[in-house]
Structure formats: structure tokens, C-alpha cells
């Protein structure tokens, strides 16, 4: 019972990371394909400006996912990290390069340096979600078992590759949708159209990849296929499809204020659909939630810690996003860091 | 409580690369931790001072420290994320068996860190638009969030040193988990306070050191005086406290982990009237060469009496204790840490005496030279303390319950070595760039300050020969309003 609750918490945390972190990786994706230094200058500045206050928070979700995994489901954590060693190790390296690249690009002034850090940031924004997606694909297709070692076939298989590509496409979608809204917020209307066009393109790719993935799971991950085509899993698939249509409809018109909600809905319900399709397994057909669960005392405490933390975190995160969407958060500029006026000296 | 399996000979080949990778990434990350834990507090003190006295210099310092914090915190986030990945990538055996016993501390830490990330984002990006009072008040919970985060990590680490809160079933698996006992293990209290104060002291000395260097170069304005005084005072106040806490944790180790204590003090045979060695080297046969021998002192330090019985390394089988080389290593790191701490106490006393007599900073350049070195020295002390506690635990990953060799991943050692090489290169680039960015910030700020400084050389200083070509950003690129236009 409590194990099920914690499994739901884990799934929700994964969904939150997919949405928040995904938006963040997506911004990196569009940074990568923004073109040469001159052509890409305006979108890149928007990306920098829009992401800076929230990117760390977006990525802290991942730490929470890992902690719930090893505290709540230690065996699951052990198996996943043993079998998916390579993609997860590469994802970790990608996370370092990405975060450092982004943080260092801002204070760097020389164009060559900015380009280097920018490339670090953008390229790893592409690779990290791919490897994380591939690892999830390996879990979903049941390739992670107690006996699996870190071999390539655990993650170089159709489901993993498609999950990886799907991860990239969804981050691109989220990134573009949020950046389009940010462009309106920062009164850069030409970038609104720029990112809405890209969001639509990404949406089409997501839809195609999703359909392909669904059919690949039919043969490659039968348990998931069954879960996605029956019961609650099917409901989430339908919701996700409807959200896709709604997003497309909202993206065609200029004032798509709700497109962010629907785009997040696409991703979140897809993640929830995958999670419910796996029931009752953590790793399909080799490890159930009950088998993988840690000590019940720990799970209860983990639930309590989560509850207490939610009371603290939800208002804080809401405040942060609220301030950010109202444009109240801005980085310090050189002008703020210089001494102004006389009478400053003692 | 005794060991299950003994993997005596033939440590797996993955062990060395896995330990090297873990040690390297942790050693890098721990350099940033003092600033993650204590720099927000120091900045807030400066900020509060500036608001109360309406002092633009203090506010400028707080803003600049925020700009540094923005970069440092980001790199801390990513290097910390790597560590959580490494629990699974390198030590799946430990997490698989013990994750649910000691993981709850990380649960607390994850949420505390979440809160810290939110608050720090609001603080760093709130300078321009938020009303100044709201901005300051929103940041006030930051030090508490940082303390809570450290609580989680230290709970996990002290559990690895003195594991409690479970019993073993016949198969050697932990059952009957008692969370409260698993968090508040015997080593938790001493480790926690020793660590938190170390972070405070280190962040204070490093920050003050920057302005001590400026002071030595003749920049003796109010800006430098303030930038030096607040962090240095904070660090100096806590330095003697740290001496007491450090002494107490050493005695706790003596009681709770006697074999680790034996390695720290290179004690071979259990005995009374044990001498204290300053440095020196232990050989595999237990003999000691070099070092300064002080008769009786180790027994006195451990139990206040020369006839205190100190447990020696040979009290347990060779496979259950650190090797002679490891013992020598942690004996040195322990002595270096204690040495640095003692010198810093002298420095703090010097500062206090001059302050009491003249209500001002010491005039001697030697004081500022020492103060400038105090920052790097305390970072060294942090590294030494960390090595002492981690290497002293060997060969156990969960003290007396699981060996490091049992926990290590089964991934091929070649993959691990390649990963190690990759991570070293990436970290060198990242930390190198971080340092370059910090230095760049300094040179960018300095010319802007240069026009009015008292002891400043005219503008053709050697470091000013290459003026920046780029025009500084005076405003953010987008936004309906420009800075300061808040109604």
C-alpha cells in the first residue's frame, strides 16, 4: 500500500522533471540550432534571459527522483544503474557540461569563449535527454534484470533509441512553447512567431515519434503495449493525444497563453501513461513495486518527509515561477556591479 | 555486529578506478560546499548591514558576492548531481542493500536543497526589481535551508561511519529499520557541528582573503575594509569554537571508532601511556619512522590521563582495518588539519587583541599576509578532514557491515578508467573556466572602482594594459521597463 503511494510520488516527480527539466533542455536544443553568431544572437539572448532564474530549480527535480529511487526502491535503483551504466554515466557528464556551460556563458564576455561555453551547453542539452530517455526505454522494455550487466544491448535497442529520440523531441517542443511565451513577455514579438513555428514543427515530430514508439512497443515491450492500450494507461494516451491537438490549435493563433499548459499536459500525461502501463512492475515482468520496495518504515517516513517538504516547496516554487512570469526576476548587470556616484569611499 | 562476507584477497579490478573517480569528484565538489552553505549567510549579513546603515558600499559588496554566488552555485548543483549519479554508477551494491536504511537523510537533503535553489534564484535575480525589503526578507530562510541540507548529507555520512537503526536477518539483509536511530547515529552530532562550523570558517576566510590581498596591494578604502572585516570577523569568532568541536569529534572517534582513531594517531598495539606522533610514517610491520614523538600525549588527549588505554590497529584482523599506508595518509591529513586549525586560532586571537585595544584592524602587513593565506589554508583543512574521515573508514563502506569491495559496480574496469579520464578532463575545464570567470569579474570590476581609490596607482597598472573591448551590458536585453524605473 505505502509502496504504491511512494511509487506514485516517484512517477509524479519523474513527470515534473520531464516538464521542468524538459523545458530547460529544449531551450538548449534551440540554442544549438539557432544558427550562426549573428543570426542566432537574438534567440540566444532570449534563451539566456528566460532560463537563467529558473534552470537550477528545474533540474533539482532530478536529484529528487534519484533520492526517491534509492531510498524507496533500492533494488530498482541498483539494477537500473548497473544495467544502464553507460547511458546514465554519459547523462551525468552531459549534466555537468550543460550546467557549467550555461552558468559560465553569462559572465563570459569574449565572443570565442561565449561560443565555446554555448556549444558545451547546447550540445549536452541534446545528448543528456537522449541518454536519460534511452535508460528509461531500457527499463520500460524489461531489459533491466538482476542478471543484466552494463552491456550495449540493454540500451541500444529499438525502444531505448525511440524513447531517447522522443525525449529530445518533447524537450524541443516544451522549450519552443515556453520560449514563445517568454518572447511575448519580453516584448519581442518577432521571436514569438519564430518559436511558435518551431514548436509546431516539434509537435509534429513528437506526434510521429509517439505513434512509431507505440507500435514498436507492441513487439519490443509487450507489457507496456498492453498497458497503454487498456484501462488507465489508455486514458492517459487519449489525454495526451487531445493535449497535442489543443497545443497545435493554440500554437496557430498568436496569443497562445494556454499553450504552455497544454504542452506540459502532453508530456506529463505521456509520462503518467508509461508509468501506469508498467503496473504493477517497476521493471516490467521482473520486479514489481512490492518486491522492489524498501522497508515500510522508511517508506512511511519518506512519505512524511515529502508531505512536509511539499508544504514548504510548493509555495516557494509557485512564488518563483510567479515572479519569473511577471518579469520580476532579472540578472544583475555590469551597471549594478559598478560603483556609482561619489561618497562611496571611506 | 559483525561482518558477513570477507573478501580478503583479490579486490575486484573496478575498485581502484571507482574509488579514484569518487574521490576526485568529491574532492572537487567539497571545495564549493563552504560557499554553498555559508556564503549566503555572509552575503546576507553584509546586505543587512547595508540596508540598516543605508550604506551603498555594503550593498555593492553584497551584489558582487551575489554575482559570484550565481556562478558558484550553478557549478555546485551540477557537481552535486554527479555525486548522486555515482551512488548508482559506482556503488550499486551499497545502495541496493542499504538504500532504504540510510537514504531518508538524502530525502531531507533533496527537499532542503530544492528550497535553497528556489530561494537563491529569487535572491540572485531579485536585486533589480523586487522592493529592497521584500528581497532581503525572502532570502532570510536561506541559511536555514543550507543547514538543513547539510543535515541530510551528514546524517548519511555519519551513518556510514557508525551504522545503526536496523537488524540483520539470517541472509545478512537489513530488516526492522528504525529511521530515528539511523539518522541520529553516534557520530552524527560531532560530525554535523564540526562540518557546519568548518564551512562557515572556510567561506569567511576565503572571502576575507580576497580583500586582504587588495589591502596589501594598497587598496585601503572603505570598500576593502568592509569586505575584509565582516567575513573575517565571522570566521575569527568561530575558529576557537571549531578547535573545541574538533577536539570533541576526535574523542568521539576514539570512543565510537577506535580502529579509525588508531589509524589517525598511528597506534599499532593497544596500550596505555601511548605517545603522540607529529607526522611520521608507519610501516606494514607497525614500526614508525620519522616524526616527532611526544611521550604519553596521545593517551592524555584521548582520555585526559596518561594511563588511558588506546586501542591499536592490531586489535582487529589486518583485513578489517586500514593499511599502514592508509594509516600514514590519514595521520598526515589529520595532523595537517589540526595544525592549520591551531594556526588559525592564533590569527583570530591576534585580530581580537588588536580589536580590543584599538577598535581597528591590525596595521601589520604580516597580519594581512596571514589573512590572505588563511582562505586557501582552510580549504586545505577541509580536504584533509574529509580524507581523514573517509580513508579512516576503510576497508568498510558501511562500517563493519559492508566492504567497499562488496559495494562496487560490476562494470568493467576499463569503462571506469575511461569514465575517470573523461570526468577529470571535464572537471579541469569546468573548474578552470570557473576560476577564469572569477578573475575576469575581478579585473572587470577593478577599473570601474579605480578612479577614486586612495592608495591606487594611476590607471596604467600592469593588469590594465588590455582594456576590455566589449561594452559592458548596462541593461538586460529585453523587458518592458529598464532598471530602477519601478514606481
Domain range annotation of chain B:
26-410
Strand partners, B276: B294
CA dist A18 and A170 (Å) reads 9
> Which chain A residues contact residue B88 at CB under 8 A?
66, 70, 77-78, 80-82, 88
Average pLDDT over residues B221-249: 90
Whether B448 and A339 lie within 8 Å, measured CB to CB? yes
Query: Residue A266: which CATH number?
Result: 1.20.1630.10
When mean pLDDT is compared across A209-213, B86-90, B302-306, the lowest value belongs to B302-306
**CB-based contacts of A197: which residues, under 8 Å, 6+ apart?**
none
> Which chain B residues contact residue A99 at CB under 8 A?
74-75, 77-78, 81
What tens digit of pLDDT does each residue of B254-275 get?
Answer: 888 888 888 888 888 888 888 8
Residue B42 has pLDDT above 90, yes or no: yes
What tens digit of pLDDT does each residue of B149-206 get?
Answer: 889 889 988 998 888 888 888 887 888 878 888 888 888 888 899 999 999 999 999 9
Residue B484 has pLDDT above 60, yes or no: no
Q: Nearest chain A Cα to B409, which residue?
A: A82
Grid cell 550487466 in the structure block, residue? A149
Residue A325 has pLDDT above 80, yes or no: no
Residue A245 lies in a domain: yes
Cross-chain CB nearest to A336 (options B110, B128, B468): B128
Q: Calculate the CA dihedral of residues A210, A214, A216, A217 and round it to 10 degrees.
A: 130
Residue A284 has pLDDT above 90, yes or no: no
pLDDT computed for residue B316 by the predictor:
86
Write out the E strands in B298-440: 396-398, 402-403
Mean pLDDT of chain B: 82
Which letter, b or e, does each residue of A164-173 get, where b requires 16 or more Cβ atoms within 10 Å of its Cβ? bbbbbbbbbb
Q: Nearest chain A Cα to B426, which residue?
A: A97
Whether A70 and B115 lie within 8 Å, measured CB to CB? no
Inter-chain CB pairs, A–B, below 8 Å: 328
pLDDT computed for residue B466 by the predictor:
35
Is B104:A74 a contact under the CB 8 Å cutoff?
no
CA dist B92 and B308 (Å) reads 41
What tens digit of pLDDT does each residue of A10-58 get?
Answer: 899 999 999 988 888 888 888 888 877 778 778 888 887 778 777 778 7
Confidence of residue B342 (pLDDT cuts 50, 70, 90): very high
What tens digit of pLDDT does each residue of A140-185 get?
Answer: 887 777 676 666 567 778 888 888 999 999 999 998 888 888 888 7
Q: Nearest chain B Cα to A62, which residue?
A: B81
| DSSP classification of residue A258 | T
Regarding predicted confidence, which is higher, B107 or B461? B107
Residue A104 lies in a domain: yes
Q: Nearest chain A Cα to B156, which residue?
A: A71
Average pLDDT over residues B389-414: 85
What tens digit of pLDDT does each residue of B122-137 get?
Answer: 888 888 888 888 889 9
Cross-chain CB nearest to A53 (options B121, B429, B477): B121
Residue B447, judged by CB atoms within 10 A of its CB (0-12, 13-18, 19+), counts as middle
Confidence of residue B478 (pLDDT cuts 50, 70, 90): very low
What tens digit of pLDDT does each residue of A83-125 get?
Answer: 888 888 889 988 888 888 887 877 777 777 778 888 888 888 8
Confidence of residue B290 (pLDDT cuts 50, 70, 90): confident
Residue A140 lies in a domain: yes
Mean pLDDT of chain A: 83
Confidence of residue B220 (pLDDT cuts 50, 70, 90): confident
* Residue B340, min C-alpha distance to chain A (Å): 32
Is B207:B231 a contact under the CB 8 Å cutoff?
yes
Residues 177-206 of A with CB under 8 A from B: 186-188
| DSSP classification of residue B50 | H
What tens digit of pLDDT does each residue of A229-281 get?
Answer: 888 888 988 999 898 898 888 888 876 668 888 888 999 998 998 888 888 88
Is A302:A75 a contact under the CB 8 Å cutoff?
no
Residue A340 lies in a domain: no
Question: B88 CB near a chain A CB, below 8 Å?
Answer: yes
Grid cell 529499438 in the structure block, residue? A158
Whether A91 and B85 lie within 8 Å, measured CB to CB? yes
CA dist B109 and B388 (Å) reads 23
Whether B175 and A295 lie within 8 Å, measured CB to CB? yes
Whether B99 and A74 lie within 8 Å, measured CB to CB? yes
pLDDT computed for residue A168 by the predictor:
93
Whether B440 and A107 lie within 8 Å, measured CB to CB? yes
* Residue A159, min C-alpha distance to chain B (Å): 22
CA dist A114 and A102 (Å) reads 10
**C-alpha grid cell, residue B1:** 555486529
Question: B474 CB near a chain A CB, below 8 Å?
Answer: yes
Average pLDDT over residues A71-79: 88
Residue A333 lies in a domain: no
pLDDT computed for residue A186 by the predictor:
75
Grid cell 582495518 in the structure block, residue? B321
Cross-chain CB nearest to A297 (options B97, B177, B222): B177
When mean pLDDT is compared across A106-110, B4-8, B436-440, the lowest value belongs to B4-8
Confidence of residue A340 (pLDDT cuts 50, 70, 90): low
When mean pLDDT is compared across B7-11, B103-107, B144-148, B248-252, the lowest value belongs to B7-11
| DSSP classification of residue B458 | P
> Which chain A residues contact residue B86 at CB under 8 A?
92
CA atoms within 13 A on the CB side of A268: 13
> Which chain A residues contact residue B437 at CB under 8 A?
104, 107-108
Is A160:A131 a contact under the CB 8 Å cutoff?
no
Average pLDDT over residues B408-435: 87
Residue A336 lies in a domain: no
Residue A44 lies in a domain: yes
CA dist B140 and B129 (Å) reads 18
Whole-Å CA distances, B9 to A82, A199, B12, B13: 24, 59, 9, 12
- pTM for the predicted model, two decimal places: 0.85
Helices H / strands E in chain A, number of each: 13, 2
Regarding predicted confidence, which is higher, A109 or B412? B412
pLDDT computed for residue B380 by the predictor:
94
**A199: domain range?**
2-298+312-328
- 3-state secondary structure at position B286: coil
What value, to the nearest 5°, has the Cα angle with vertex B168 and ends B162 and B171?
A: 135
CA dist A170 and A199 (Å) reads 10
Residue A205 has pLDDT above 50, yes or no: yes
What ipTM was predicted for this assembly?
Answer: 0.87
> Which chain B residues contact residue A47 at CB under 8 A?
none
pLDDT computed for residue A153 by the predictor:
63
Residue A13 lies in a domain: yes
**C-alpha grid cell, residue B126:** 531579485
Cross-chain CB nearest to B103 (options A71, A102, A186): A71
Residue B207: how many other CB atoms lie within 10 Å: 28
pLDDT computed for residue B194 by the predictor:
92
pLDDT computed for residue A152 by the predictor:
59
> Which chain A residues contact residue B57 at CB under 8 A?
344-346
Cross-chain CB nearest to B106 (options A71, A103, A327): A71
Regarding predicted confidence, which is higher, A186 or B338? B338
Whether A107 and B441 lie within 8 Å, measured CB to CB? yes
Whether A74 and B103 lie within 8 Å, measured CB to CB? yes
How many domains are there within chain A?
1
Amino acid at each position: 500500500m505505502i509502496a504504491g503511494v511512494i511509487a506514485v510520488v516517484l512517477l509524479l516527480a519523474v513527470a515534473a522533471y520531464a516538464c521542468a527539466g524538459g523545458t530547460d533542455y529544449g531551450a538548449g536544443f534551440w540554442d544549438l540550432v539557432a544558427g550562426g553568431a549573428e543570426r542566432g544572437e537574438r534567440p540566444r539572448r532570449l534563451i539566456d534571459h528566460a532560463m537563467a532564474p529558473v534552470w537550477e530549480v528545474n533540474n533539482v527535480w532530478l536529484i529528487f527522483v534519484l533520492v526517491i529511487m534509492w531510498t524507496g526502491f533500492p533494488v530498482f535503483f541498483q539494477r537500473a544503474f548497473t544495467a544502464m551504466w553507460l547511458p546514465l554515466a554519459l547523462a551525468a557528464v552531459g549534466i555537468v557540461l550543460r550546467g557549467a556551460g550555461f552558468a559560465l556563458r553569462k559572465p563570459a564576455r569574449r565572443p570565442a569563449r561565449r561560443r565555446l561555453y554555448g556549444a558545451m551547453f547546447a550540445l549536452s542539452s541534446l545528448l543528456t535527454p537522449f541518454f536519460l530517455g534511452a535508460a528509461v526505454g531500457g527499463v520500460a522494455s524489461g531489459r533491466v534484470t538482476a542478471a543484466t550487466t552494463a552491456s550495449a544491448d540493454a540500451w541500444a535497442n529499438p525502444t531505448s533509441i525511440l524513447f531517447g529520440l522522443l525525449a529530445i523531441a518533447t524537450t524541443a517542443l516544451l522549450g519552443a512553447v515556453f520560449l514563445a511565451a517568454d518572447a511575448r513577455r519580453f516584448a519581442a514579438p518577432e521571436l514569438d512567431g519564430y518559436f511558435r513555428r518551431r514548436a509546431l514543427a516539434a509537435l509534429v515530430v513528437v506526434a510521429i515519434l509517439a505513434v512509431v514508439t507505440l507500435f514498436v512497443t507492441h513487439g519490443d515491450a509487450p507489457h507496456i503495449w498492453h498497458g497503454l492500450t487498456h484501462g488507465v494507461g489508455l486514458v492517459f494516451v487519449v489525454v495526451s493525444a487531445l493535449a497535442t491537438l489543443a497545443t497545435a490549435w493554440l500554437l496557430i493563433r498568436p496569443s497562445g497563453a494556454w499553450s504552455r499548459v497544454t504542452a506540459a499536459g502532453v508530456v506529463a500525461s505521456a509520462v503518467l501513461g508509461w508509468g501506469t502501463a508498467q503496473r504493477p512492475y517497476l521493471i516490467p515482468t521482473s520486479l514489481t513495486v512490492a518486491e522492489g520496495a524498501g522497508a515500510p518504515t522508511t517508506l512511511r517516513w519518506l512519505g512524511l518527509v515529502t508531505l512536509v517538504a511539499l508544504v514548504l516547496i510548493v509555495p516557494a516554487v509557485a512564488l518563483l515561477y510567479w515572479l519569473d512570469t511577471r518579469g520580476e526576476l532579472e540578472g544583475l548587470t555590469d551597471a549594478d556591479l559598478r560603483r556609482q556616484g561619489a561618497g562611496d569611499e571611506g | 555486529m559483525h561482518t558477513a562476507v570477507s573478501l580478503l584477497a583479490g579486490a575486484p579490478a573496478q575498485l581502484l578506478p571507482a574509488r579514484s573517480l569518487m574521490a576526485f569528484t568529491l574532492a572537487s565538489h567539497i571545495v564549493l560546499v563552504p560557499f554553498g552553505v555559508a556564503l549566503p549567510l555572509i552575503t546576507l549579513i553584509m546586505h543587512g548591514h547595508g540596508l540598516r546603515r543605508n550604506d551603498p558600499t555594503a550593498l555593492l559588496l553584497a551584489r558582487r558576492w551575489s554575482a559570484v554566488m550565481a556562478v558558484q552555485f550553478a557549478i555546485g548543483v551540477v557537481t552535486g548531481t554527479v555525486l548522486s549519479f555515482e551512488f548508482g554508477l559506482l556503488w550499486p551494491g551499497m545502495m541496493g542493500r542499504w538504500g532504504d536504511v540510510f537514504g531518508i537523510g538524502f530525502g531531507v537533503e533533496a527537499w532542503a536543497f530544492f528550497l535553497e535553489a528556489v530561494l537563491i534564484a529569487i535572491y540572485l535575480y531579485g536585486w533589480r526589481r523586487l522592493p529592497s525589503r521584500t528581497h532581503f526578507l525572502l532570502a532570510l530562510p536561506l541559511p536555514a535551508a543550507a543547514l538543513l541540507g547539510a543535515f541530510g548529507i551528514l546524517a548519511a555520512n555519519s551513518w556510514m561511519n557508525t551504522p545503526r537503526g536496523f537488524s540483520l536477518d539470517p541472509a545478512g539483509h537489513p530488516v526492522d529499520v528504525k529511521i530515528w536511530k539511523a539518522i541520529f547515529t553516534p557520530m552524527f552530532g560531532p560530525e554535523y557541528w564540526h562540518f557546519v562550523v568548518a564551512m562557515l570558517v572556510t567561506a569567511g576566510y576565503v572571502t576575507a582573503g580576497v580583500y586582504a590581498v587588495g589591502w596589501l596591494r594598497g587598496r585601503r578604502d572603505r570598500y576593502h575594509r568592509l569586505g575584509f572585516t565582516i567575513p573575517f570577523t565571522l570566521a575569527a569568532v568561530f575558529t576557537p569554537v571549531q578547535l573545541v568541536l574538533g577536539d570533541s569529534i576526535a574523542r568521539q572517534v576514539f570512543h565510537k571508532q577506535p580502529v579509525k582513531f588508531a589509524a589517525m594517531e598511528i597506534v599499532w598495539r593497544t596500550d596505555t601511556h601511548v605517545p603522540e606522533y607529529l607526522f611520521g610514517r608507519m610501516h606494514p610491520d607497525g614500526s614508525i619512522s620519522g616524526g616527532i614523538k611526544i611521550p604519553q600525549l596521545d593517551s592524555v588527549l584521548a582520555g585526559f590521563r596518561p594511563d588511558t588505554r588506546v586501542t591499536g590497529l592490531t586489535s582487529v584482523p589486518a583485513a578489517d582495518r586500514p593499511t599502514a599506508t592508509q594509516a600514514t595518509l590519514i595521520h598526515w591529513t589529520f595532523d595537517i588539519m589540526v595544525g592549520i586549525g591551531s594556526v588559525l586560532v592564533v590569527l583570530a586571537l591576534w585580530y581580537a587583541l588588536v580589536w580590543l585595544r584599538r577598535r581597528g584592524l591590525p596595521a601589520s602587513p604580516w597580519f594581512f599576509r596571514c589573512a590572505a593565506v588563511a582562505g586557501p589554508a582552510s580549504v586545505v583543512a577541509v580536504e584533509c578532514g574529509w580524507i581523514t574521515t573517509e580513508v579512516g573508514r576503510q576497508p568498510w563502506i558501511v562500517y563493519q557491515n559492508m566492504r567497499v569491495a562488496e559495494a562496487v559496480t560490476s562494470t568493467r574496469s576499463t569503462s571506469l578508467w575511461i569514465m575517470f579520464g573523461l570526468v577529470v578532463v571535464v572537471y579541469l575545464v569546468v573548474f578552470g573556466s570557473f576560476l577564469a570567470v572569477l578573475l575576469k569579474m575581478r579585473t572587470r570590476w577593478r577599473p570601474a572602482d579605480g578612479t577614486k581609490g586612495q592608495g591606487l596607482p594611476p590607471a596604467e597598472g600592469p593588469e590594465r594594459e588590455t582594456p576590455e573591448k566589449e561594452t559592458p551590458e548596462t541593461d538586460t536585453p529585453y523587458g518592458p521597463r529598464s532598471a530602477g524605473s519601478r514606481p
